[in-house]
Amino acid sequence: MTPVGLLFKVNSEGLFTCPVNASPVDYAKIYPDPESEKAIMGSVVYCIHHKEGCQWSDELRKLKAHLNTCKHDAVLCAAQCGAMIPRVLMQDHLRYTCPRRRANCEHCHKEFSGSALEEHQGNCGHEPVYCENKCGAKVQRRHTQQHIQQHCSKRLVPCRHCGQRYTQDTVTAHGATCSRAPVPCPQRCAAAPVPRDELDAHLRDHCTAAGVSCAFRDAGCRFKGTRQALDRHTEESCQQHLALVSALATRQARQLESLRAAVARLSVNCSGALVWRITDWAAKMAEAKCKDGVELLSPMFYTSQHGYKLQASLFLNGNGAGEGTHMSVYIKILPGEYDALLRWPFSHTVSFTLFDQSSSPDRACNIVESFVPDPTWKNFQRPSKEPDALGFGFPRFVSHEMLKKRNFVKDDVMFLRVKVDPSKIVAV
Ligand SMILES: [Zn+2]
Ligand SMILES: [Zn+2]
Ligand SMILES: [Zn+2]
Ligand SMILES: [Zn+2]
Ligand SMILES: [Zn+2]
Ligand SMILES: [Zn+2]
Ligand SMILES: [Zn+2]
């Protein structure tokens, strides 16, 4: 029951609503109170599209008639697409959004229905689109493949000199550094341009204009000139070149000499012990037996880096008391470079060891003899520049009998150790 005097409101869908709780009300079922109805129908209302901008306002009874013409009221699309469109927007709808409208593609100008046009858009072959290689160009969609293959500045093209692939807009810049690009000879010779990476070889080996050095440069010839001039120079300078080479050979011989001396200094034995390897033993023994006084001399060695200079001496067929029956060994003190700084007489213990080369080391029986120098002996004084021929040692070091008993000689080789010990003062 609607109280008299209260006005129904009309919502956005055109329905009357209860003024109390705003729920929709069926106009036909409102209790007909003729007095109230009359009052209601006569009451002044706004158009239901007032908010959209319709200014119409009149008695309620005239609203229905107004809505038939109200430009804000929605009606079915005139092209029968089924949409409800406010009259005021119908023109726009029919022109731009109605799926049943007829329209032309702005790119290819073909006519389509609205829905077909929407599908067509994004596929039209005439629409200009940006190149997918991001070269910045805009080409019609139907020409993109051709553009990418033939015109795009970002397409890969091979360098015509080296064959490496570069984008079309960088291949020219690459040519300025390409190792295979031909460049003219900087000496301006008559040769055709050569690939950049062969230029050095050209200048070195083939260029007729480049200055080349004389082949005798290392020998001291300073000549430098073109290849032709060099040929002439080489022909004319035989004498001069020969003199340069000869001088060089002399210089090098001197260098070799000093190098040899340096190597000898470095390789000299300064350990105070010498293991003397005597090879071709049988032949040497045979020689000693048929000739008198055959003496074998060991390599020189030093007692320390700046010590006494020593040499061992060996008579295979004996000497003095051992002649013909024994092998004799001696030590000689040679004039050395550091004698002035050393103590005299020489007083280091000297020992000789003849090695038994038995295959089982446990059963090997070496022969060892040693002595402490007698300070009164002339042999142990500082040697003069012309030293004594004989040293000091053992004329009867080992008998020929004994030599045969054990493996002192094996594979025609004998080993004799000579050891000088400054700390020992007692002979073994
Ligand atoms: Zn209206
Ligand atoms: Zn429509
Ligand atoms: Zn089109
Ligand atoms: Zn492109
Ligand atoms: Zn290249
Ligand atoms: Zn050249
Ligand atoms: Zn020369």
Closest CA to 278 of 266, 268, 290, 287: 287
Which residues have beta carbons under 5 A from ligand 6 (an ion)?
A: 185, 187, 189, 191, 207
Tell me if the bond preceding 345 is cis, omega within 30° of 0.
yes
CA distance 12 to 50: 10
State the average pLDDT over residues 194-220: 87
**What is the pLDDT at residue 267?**
80
Q: How far is the CA of 155 from the centre of ligand 4 (A)?
A: 7
Quick one: pLDDT at residue 266? 80
pTM for the full model?
0.42
Q: How many angstroms separate the most distant Cα atoms in the chain? A: 177
| Mean pLDDT value across the chain | 87
Strand runs labelled E in 26-92: 44-46, 57-59, 74-76, 84-86
- Picking from 84, 71, 82, the residue whose alpha carbon sits closest to that of residue 13 is 84
Each residue of 25-47: pLDDT tens digit? 776 666 656 677 777 778 889 99
Instruction: Report which listed range, 52-56, 214-218, 411-415, is most confident.
Output: 411-415
CA distances from 284 to 278, 279, 293 (A): 9, 8, 12
Report how far residue 388's alpha carbon sits from residue 385's, in angstroms, rounded to the nearest whole number: 9
Q: What pLDDT band is residue 331 in, cutting at 50, 70 and 90? A: very high
User: Which ligand is located closest to the Cα atom of residue 129?
Assistant: 4
Instruction: Tell me the pLDDT band of 208, cut-offs 50, 70 and 90.
Output: confident
Q: Distance from the CA of 158 to the center of ligand 6, in angstroms?
A: 28
Nearest bound ligand to the CA of residue 176: 5
Could you report the per-residue pLDDT of 50-73, keeping only the tens digit for each?
998 999 999 999 999 999 999 999
CA–centroid distance, residue 232 to ligand 7 (Å): 10
Residue 323 in this model has a pLDDT that exceeds 90 = yes
- Rounded distance from Cα 130 to ligand 4 centre (Å): 8
Distance (angstroms) between ligand 4 centre and the Cα of 144 equals 8
Residue 4 has pLDDT above 60, yes or no: no
Q: Return the ligand number nearest the Cα of 242.
A: 7
Distance (Å) from CA 12 to ligand 1 centroid: 12
CA gap 228, 249 in Å, rounded:
29
Residue 146 has pLDDT above 50, yes or no: yes
Q: Provide the pLDDT for residue 385.
A: 67
Answer whether residue 78 shows pLDDT above 80.
yes
Q: For residue 162, which ligand has an atom nearest its CA?
A: 5
Of 420, 357, 422, nearest to 392 (Cα)? 420
pLDDT for residue 184 is more than 60: yes
Distance 125 CA to ligand 3 centre (A): 6
Q: Would you give the end-to-end CA distance of the chain in angstroms?
A: 149
pLDDT of residue 2: 36
* Proximal ligand: closest to the CA of 167: 4
Exposure of 127 in the CB half-sphere (CA atoms within 13 A) = 10
**Ligand positioned closest to the Cα atom of 177:** 5
Q: Cα(256) to centroid of ligand 7, in Å?
A: 25
Is residue 139 over pLDDT 90? yes
pLDDT at residue 120 in the model: 92
Give the model's confidence band at 188: pLDDT under 50 very low, under 70 low, under 90 confident, else very high: confident
Is the distance from CB of 234 to CB of 215 less than 8 angstroms?
A: yes
Is the pLDDT at 3 greater than 60? The verdict is: no
Separation between Cα atoms, residue 409 and residue 395, nearest integer Å: 19
What ligand has the least distance to the C-alpha of 52? Answer: 1
Q: In which residue are the tokens 């009451």 written? A: 43
Neighbours of 227 (CB within 10 A): 15
pLDDT of residue 135: 92
> In Å, how far are 15, 87, 347, 372 from 74, measured between CA atoms?
14, 6, 137, 140
Q: Quick one: tokens of 208?
A: 């007729």
> Which residues are within 5 Å of ligand 3 (an ion), measured at CB?
105, 107-108, 124
Instruction: Give the total residue count for the chain.
Output: 428
CA of 268 to the centre of ligand 3 (A): 101
pLDDT surpassing 60 at residue 12: yes
Q: State the distance from the centre of ligand 1 to the C-alpha of 15, rounded, in angstroms.
A: 14
Among all bound ligands, the one having the nearest atom to the CA of 225 is: 7
- Percent of the chain residues topping a pLDDT of 70: 91
Q: What ligand has the least distance to the C-alpha of 64?
A: 1
Distance 126 CA to ligand 3 centre (A): 6
Beta-strand relationship, 111-113 and 102-104: antiparallel
Given a contact cutoff of 8 angstroms between Cβ atoms, the answer to whether 399 and 350 are in contact is no
Ligand nearest to the CA of 123: 3
| 146 CA to centre of ligand 5 in angstroms | 25
- Rounded mean pLDDT of 110-121? 88
Cα separation, 344 vs 307, in Å, equals 12
Q: CA 97, CA 120: separation in Å to the nearest integer?
A: 15
